[in-house]
Structure 1
Amino acid sequence: MTGNGTPVVFIHGLWLHASSWKPWEELFEEAGYRPVAPGWPGVADTVELARAHPDSIADHGIDDVVEHYADIIDELPEPPILIGHSFGGMIAEKLLGRNLAAAAIAIDAAQIKGVLPLPLSALRATFPVFANPANKHRAVSLTADQFRFAFGNAVGAEESDALYDQWTIPAPGKPLFEAAGANFAPHSPAAVDTGNDDRGPLLLIMGGQDHTVPEAITKSTLKQYRHSTAVTDLVEFPDRGHSLTVDNGWHAVADTCLGWLAKQGL
């Protein structure tokens, strides 16, 4: 991290390596920010190493990931802007709710406690994990076809396969099991302080064609924040799927984030 701009911490979700944020890092650095994209606990520095050592990724839950990024934030010179995708979006929401960030952008964020809709497409997208209860303590990989349904359904098959080859890594099953049982657990790690009036602004971004986090989930997430007076905005990309941060349209999403941050004076 170089320069004197506001730090920006990018948080990846399940099945995509942290290095998939590289184009975003370059764009945000050009815009004057100081970006960094650390991996989840146990995730190796490269895609190849992460694939070769899935056991180091396994059995990390939501709380583990939140505390991992909280420690990273603690080393920064000022509260950062957080930008998270999928489960990374949920992590960003939790950290913002704890007042550890200046602002957060949650892109197709995983469901938090209190969100009730669970569309069939979301169940199908996560079936590779839920198919075996033992996967709660394992790292699970997707096949190219599974990635195509869960991430690449709004782009061509050739592009989806290329994204799969370039960025996918095994992912811990534990966060998915924790999120699935959130509404039945009094102290679920998927709970977010949505009523916090003193937090920084939050932008929720949803892809209208997303199979993994369908728009019903994001709209329900927005409703969870209705009792907070803090800024909570929603932007939809109607024709985009879950791969919207890495596919050919990523720049439009990133530009939207930069524009929203400028409006917030950040």
Structure 2
Amino acid sequence: MLEVIDKGACSESHPVPLLFVHGAWHAAWCWDEHFLDFFADKGFRALAVSLRGHGNSPSPKPLRTCSLADYLDDVDSVVDTLPTTPVLIGHSMGGFIVQKYLEAHQAPAGVLIASAPQRGSFAFTMRLTRRHPWLTTKGLITGNALLPVGTPELARESFFSSQTPESDVVRYAARLNGESQRVAIDTIWMLPRPKRVTTPLLILGAECDRSILSKEVRTTANAYRTEAEIFPDMGHDMMLEPGWAAVAERIHTWLEMRDLRPHRGEPDQQETTPTG
């Protein structure tokens, strides 16, 4: 059973639930700090899933061997428990998962927050490797992918701006999770196909993000025929940064402007062949 944190309830004014998908090294807890209560208080049913091997979700096989298809199955399994297809909101790797999911599924709307780019995670991997060649190499050898981000100092470098209090960085760093090396490879070659996505998207980025650069967020938005919105003075973990409320408010305003009617679309068969 996957860990799912579930708050609030659907209502006549907000009949469609929100499903939050975390990024690499994180779990459902990162949404439970602020976002789930925020949206539940606004009248939404807000859920966050911990992908297999993350948080309190078990994995039937070693985490480092889990694939992107496994994570997509996790999202699909949660969607299938809901009475109607949710709005999908993904951060970082979770944003990449949302992009891939929407290739083959209809949803009322989607939100990408500091999402891994539509062009793949190769540039991010290279940046991390250049900053910490020994830690990334050791992580590759030992299978411990947490090494390059697993201390408060390293976590701040990749995930947080200078505005985030040190006490918060220490607390969040202690909750970071291992990650799948297989998925790191999958997100390099199993690229999303924007032309197959018809779901309207809101795409947000952070000015001080050292993991996913603003220019990459803008390129992703361009691929989906929309414009990115970049938040100043924020780091990668936009749902945990001191300015998280401005991000949540923007998402809420955007959702309120949309016609979010409950529906269940029939998924097409999802392809897994590499694209460039």
- Provide the TM-score with structure 2 as the length reference: 0.77
Alignment of 1:108-187 (within 5 A): 108-113=114-119, 121=127, 123-124=129-130, 128-129=135-136, 132-134=139-141, 139-141=145-147, 142-156=150-164, 158=166, 159-165=168-174, 167-180=175-188, 182=189
Distance apart, 1:114 and its partner CA = 6.5
Q: Give ranges in structure 1 of 5+ residues lacking alignment.
A: 183-187, 227-231
Q: Aligned partners of 1:236 and 1:250: how far apart in 2?
A: 13
Q: Deviations over 1:199-249 (max 9, x none)?
A: 2210111001100101121122123224xxxxx342110211112211222
Q: How many residues align?
A: 244
Judging changes above 3 Å, is the alpha-carbon distance between structure 1 residues 172 and 115 closer, same or farther for their aligned structure 2 residues?
Answer: closer
Give the secondary structure class of the aligned counterpart of 1:106.
Answer: strand
- Are positions 1:31 and 2:42 aligned together? yes
| Aligned counterpart for 1:63 among listed residues 69, 72, 93 | 69
Distance apart, 1:161 and its partner CA = 2.4
Q: Aligned partners of 2:125 and 2:65: how far apart in 1?
A: 26
Distance apart, 1:28 and its partner CA = 1.0
1:229 equivalent in structure 2: none
Give the secondary structure class of the aligned counterpart of 1:171.
Answer: coil
2:239 equivalent in structure 1: 245
2:196 equivalent in structure 1: 196
Q: Deviations over 1:141-172 (max 9, x none)?
A: 4222211110123434614223323x322222
Residue type of the alignment partner of 2:248: A
Q: Which moved more, 1:253-262 or 1:57-66?
A: 57-66
Contact 2:22-2:90 at 8 Å conserved across structures: yes
Judging changes above 3 Å, is the alpha-carbon distance between structure 1 residues 114 and 27 closer, same or farther for their aligned structure 2 residues?
Answer: closer
Q: Which moved more, 1:96-105 or 1:28-37?
A: 96-105
Distance apart, 1:109 and its partner CA = 0.5
Distance apart, 1:138 and its partner CA = 5.2
Residue type of the alignment partner of 1:150: S
Q: Deviations over 1:6-49 (max 9, x none)?
A: 11100001122211211211111111211111110122428xxx
Q: Give ranges in structure 2 of 5+ residues lacking alignment.
A: 1-5, 261-276
Residue type of the alignment partner of 2:222: K
Q: Aligned partners of 2:157 and 2:40: how far apart in 1?
A: 32
Q: Aligned partners of 1:6 and 1:103: how far apart in 2?
A: 10
| Aligned counterpart for 1:107 among listed residues 104, 110, 113 | 113
2:26 equivalent in structure 1: 16
1:41 equivalent in structure 2: 52
1:84 equivalent in structure 2: 90
1:263 equivalent in structure 2: 257
Q: Aligned partners of 1:116 and 1:173: how far apart in 2?
A: 13
Q: Aligned partners of 1:79 and 1:233: how far apart in 2?
A: 25
Residue type of the alignment partner of 1:146: L
Q: Aligned partners of 1:39 and 1:222: how far apart in 2?
A: 26
Give the secondary structure class of the aligned counterpart of 1:265.
Answer: coil
Distance apart, 1:95 and its partner CA = 1.6
Distance apart, 1:125 and its partner CA = 6.5
Q: Aligned partners of 1:153 and 1:121: how far apart in 2?
A: 17
Q: Aligned partners of 1:144 and 1:261: how far apart in 2?
A: 34
Distance apart, 1:131 and its partner CA = 5.3
Q: Aligned partners of 2:95 and 2:132: how far apart in 1?
A: 17
Distance apart, 1:75 and its partner CA = 2.1
Give the secondary structure class of the aligned counterpart of 1:37.
Answer: strand
Contact 1:125-1:211 at 8 Å conserved across structures: no
